[in-house]
A and B are shown apart, each in its own frame.
Chain A
Amino acid sequence: MKRQFLSGPYILWMVLFTIIPLAIVVYYAFTDSITGAFTLKNLAAMGTYLPIFLRSIWLAVVSALICLVLGYPVAWCIAQAGPRAQRFLYMLVMLPMCISFLLRTLAWVSLLEDTGIINNLLGRLGIGPLRLVRNDGAVILGMVYNYLPYMIMPLYTVIMKIDHRLVEAAQDLGCGGSQVFLRVTLPLSVPGIISGVTMVFVPAVSTFYISQKLGGTTSTMIGDVIESQFKTAYNPNLGAALSLVLMILVLACIAVMNRFTGDDESVATI
């Protein structure tokens, strides 16, 4: 019995439900919504959506960087704790992800609203209602909040694996605290940083729920446009073209980021 035949059903499944669907996306992107004839019209329309694409990328990049700045010290702190505390803290990072992200985002809406919890508290201190929601800042906050655990997990895994003797060696050779960090710990964390940034960037750039709830009228993201093509405007061909461009964009971003590590499987292994 050849053991590799055990993969047969899996490969068949993935071809049927991953490869063929993507081929259909490509097919739809290049056909007319009414006649079904070949057309470049859908892709030509991408020019109109360029500002939205750029906005989405910008918001996702900012969110990923904020996640990195917030997540790195946390991951470092968890990695310094004792084994039991580490397991517990890691669990605390994972736990919020188990609760409906829709509801957690809604909770932020009720915190930030003009008549929300924060403004209510500020009002009692005599500070007038601040405009905290329906702007890009709120969208970034929502994305940072939702995807921060995706940043902390790979960073923690990488920092955990850093050989402590290297840190000691650097100290012995006269490095101060910040030098040890900049010359040893940080360079060795690069694979985790790349992986974390990717894991935040991909869902952030394609989100549609967070921008609908926390964003203003000008905060439309590319995910919103795709969603509306399938759910309300019903132009699946244009939606397919947008999805295709989004997919290529994400793959290109991942490829660029993986250049930094020279490892094309870093997304998969962490």
Chain B
Amino acid sequence: MKTASKVFTVAVFIFLYVPMLVLGIASFNSVSDVVVFRGFTFDNYKALFQDSVLLPLLLNSIIISVIASLAATVLGTAATLGIQRMGKRLRRVTMFMTNIPLTNPEIVTGVSLALLFAFVGQALKINSIMGFWTLLIAHITFNLPYVILSVQPKLTQMDPNLTSAALDLGCTPVQAFFKVVLHEIFPGIVSGALMAFTMSLDDFVISYFVYGPNFVTLPVEIYNYTKKPLHPKIYALFTLLFLVILLMMVVMNVLQARDTARHRNPRLRKSGGPIN
């Protein structure tokens, strides 16, 4: 039974990684055909670094993701602090709003924002409203719930006496926040920000409805590309991205493991399992 489920798990992981393997091998192929491997080459990587289209688009994606995830983190963390003090009814309404972008199909979120922007564009007589700002607004909007849902559990887990203690010891409320509360909820803020960043970086569906010709992100361009055959330098780009993300995750994993090992000894901490 146990071995069977292990074999099964390995098979599912292979299933999950087959496409990545295909992309990785195609990035070293000397012809643009994915199907037949003609010869090993680094030419696609050279072509990637000389490319004047893909890298600026990747930069666009990174700019949007960084700004959107930072803005969502600040706005969302402030909101979570406020939500905690709300009355029951107001909190219900706010959490209902938070759940809308999460439960709505992405295409509906994209379409609704596209209609809003078109409406505003018409009202203000702006011809090409779609572009950087519309993308940024859309990304902040769908990032916010992720930040709130990862900060909120940390805030409810926190011992409220800690704040009282800080106040008793002479902190002003603002000092107490920065020295005590922020410190306690920081892991939630970081994981929320990271989640928002990755969601933004790979978002296609919502971006597709609110981008403009002046500001295109990488996933949207790939979609527009795929009508023509893809150049293998795109595979090279994603193989590199995959390796960077893998490295980042491994580093985070090691740091987290060290962190839990350090915390386990001095005192038992409340935690909701190994993944928080």
Contact = CB atoms under 8 A, between A and B. Distances in A.
The bracket for how many chain A residues form the interface is 35 or more
A104 to B, nearest CB: 4
A74 B202 contact: no
B97 A3 contact: no
B16 interface: yes
Contact of B144 (A14, A108, A213): A14
A243 B234 contact: no
Interface stretch (A86-94, A128-136, A167-175): A86-94
B59 interface: no
A73 interface: yes
Interface string B2-42: 10011011001101111110110010000000111000000
Contact of A157 (B20, B115, B116, B273): B273
Interface of A: 1-11, 13-15, 17-22, 24-25, 28, 70-71, 73-74, 76-78, 80, 83-84, 86-88, 90-108, 110-111, 113, 115-117, 120, 145, 148-149, 157, 160-161, 177, 198, 202-203, 205-206, 208-209, 213, 223, 226-227, 230, 236, 239-240, 243, 246-247, 250-251, 254, 265, 267-268
A106 B231 CA distance: 13
Contacts of A117: 22, 34-35
B275 A87 contact: yes
A contacts with B: majority SS? helix
A210 to B, nearest CB: 11
21 contacts: A2-B85, A6-B81, A10-B75, A14-B100, A17-B138, A28-B115, A73-B9, A84-B257, A92-B13, A95-B246, A98-B201, A99-B202, A99-B245, A101-B204, A107-B18, A107-B22, A111-B18, A120-B35, A149-B16, A227-B107, A243-B107
